[in-house]
Chain A
Amino acid sequence: MKNNEELVKNSDLPDNALAKTDEELVFFVLENRDFFLHIVNRYQIKLFNYVKRISNFRDEEIEDILQDIFVKVYRNLNSFDHELKFSSWIYRIAHNAVIDHFRKNKNYLDNVSIEMEDNAASSLADDFDIRKDIDNQLLRKKINKALDKLDYKYKEVLILKYLEEKDYQEISDIIKKPVGTVASRMNRAKKEFKEMLKFIDN
């Protein structure tokens, strides 16, 4: 898998674009379509991982969803609210696209099985006092199993906070719920996740 920087370096784009913030890039894209390549390059891997984490679709399926997401982003660039972080806005579009995809294919959100990488598993383990001395693969399995059992709404806030490293305000902007709701959902999610871990241990 190529990382963002490699992809950007390989692309033939106007100079100095790498130094621009996302929000600045939006202005440039509206002037010149080619700048959109920078936005795609910056977010394609992040969004690929995010969509995979919350949906566990096949890679080809995710690529199709990502294509829809970026086309939607381009179409709606003029609706980007500069009070928001661009990343929150693009994650929101991804969140909605995944939910639409579930609905379209009549899948059940709660039946999503999570696949996470080692570093993501460690990040969650740090916060939940999970034994660190166990093998990474075992740890990952245990966390995946616990996350799988959670409601989708709880699973998603945990993923956004611990794996995507978003703060409460960003999560609120992504899932379009008040910060208070995000906080209470997070508390509930943590509680259920801990209970699930205990259950698995026993």
Chain B
Amino acid sequence: MINQNFSQKILKKIQEDNIKPTPKWHFLLKDYIVWFFGFFSLVTGAIAFSVIIYLIKYNDWEIYNQTNGGFWEFFLLTLPYFWLLLLFLFSFLVFYNVKHTKNGYRYSVKSIVLSNILISITLGFVFYHTGIGRRLDDILGEKVSFYPTFINHRMHFWSQPESGRLAGIVVSSDGDKSFVLFDVDNKKWTVIRSDDLGMKVEIEKPVRVLGKILSENAFEANRIFPAGRLGMGFFKKHRENFFQHNNGFSEGDGMFFEQPPIDHSQCPLRDQCLNK
């Protein structure tokens, strides 16, 4: 049973406590903030998707069969996990923000998720075609220290010499026989070329090498590829770091070796040369 003076009691409380209606701008601001973060998350998710398209498109599909392991191993090792994680995270934020808009409760989970996927894919392709995906990958490669370990998983894929994969900057070359490579993990390798590999390496350029480890600092190359679009920004910074921190080596002179160049004519067996 409700007290018959209840309404008067409410009005009295409002008067005594000096309660006032919260201004309209407060609710509008809250609404705009939710929409802003929803929109921001949507665009960020679409940008992440554009980088995913870029990384997947240039994912060395043509050489996966020359790496150890099958297609699925290659696929799983080179998936852009960082960007996929970002995409899921921002998709969730889009969902969360839409649900917290004034009328967000009216939309079903399915309709919000499907609309989000559709818009992210469309915007992602637009961003990819405007070059945002590539540009972002380059900038992060240049600026972020954990790029090769977390952001671009392909860098990690190509820095596993024990699995026969190596990538880095060519810092000096001994003609067609060998060259020195400064790898992604800042280690210098003498790369011995098998006969007739075809591709000529250029000093300061990034390359990828398939082969096997010969000794602690030596790697035998069976195939050499230009780095292509793999971590362009990262290799730019990597090259600059190397030349800045190696006094006595002038950029581009092609004469840097920790040890004197190996004279292969003096040792018929390659391992003997390397152990000298």
> Which residues of A pack against B, CB within 8 Å?
1-2, 7, 11, 29-30, 33-34, 36-37, 40-41, 44-45, 48, 59, 62-63, 66-67, 70-71, 74-79, 81, 83, 172, 176-181
Asked whether, in the complex, the Cβ of B7 is within 8 Å of the Cβ of A40, the reply is: yes
| Interface check B200, CB cutoff 8 A | no
A48 in contact with B2 given A177-B105, A179-B106, A181-B108 (CB within 8 Å): yes
Separation of A1 and B7 alpha carbons in the complex (Å): 14
Instruction: Let me know if B19 and A7 touch, CB within 8 A.
Output: no
How far is B186's CA from A22's CA once the two chains are assembled, in angstroms?
A: 73
Judge if B77 is at the interface, Cβ distance under 8 Å: no
Mark B residues whose CB is within 8 Å of A.
Answer: 1-4, 6-11, 13-15, 19-24, 26-27, 102-103, 105-108
Contact between chains at B9 and A78 (CB < 8 Å): no
**What are the nearest 6 A-B pairs in CB distance?**
A176-B105, A40-B7, A78-B24, A79-B27, A77-B21, A178-B108
- By secondary structure, the A interface counts as helix
Known: A1-B2, A178-B108. A67 touches B19 (CB 8 A): no
**A74-B14, A76-B22, A178-B108 known; A81 and B102 CB under 8 Å?**
yes
Q: In the complex, which of the residues B11, B23, B27, B106 contacts A36, with contact meaning CB atoms closer than 8 Å? A: B11
Q: Can you list 19 pairs linking A and B with CB atoms under 8 Å apart?
A: A11-B8, A30-B21, A36-B10, A36-B14, A37-B7, A37-B8, A40-B7, A40-B10, A44-B6, A59-B1, A63-B3, A71-B19, A74-B21, A75-B22, A78-B21, A78-B24, A81-B103, A83-B103, A178-B107
| CA of A70 to CA of B10, assembled, Å | 7
Contact A44 B7, beta carbon cutoff 8 Å: yes
A201 to B2 CA separation, bound complex (whole angstroms): 36
Q: Which residues from A are CB-within-8-Å of B4?
A: 2, 7
Q: Is the CB of B2 within 8 A of A63?
A: yes
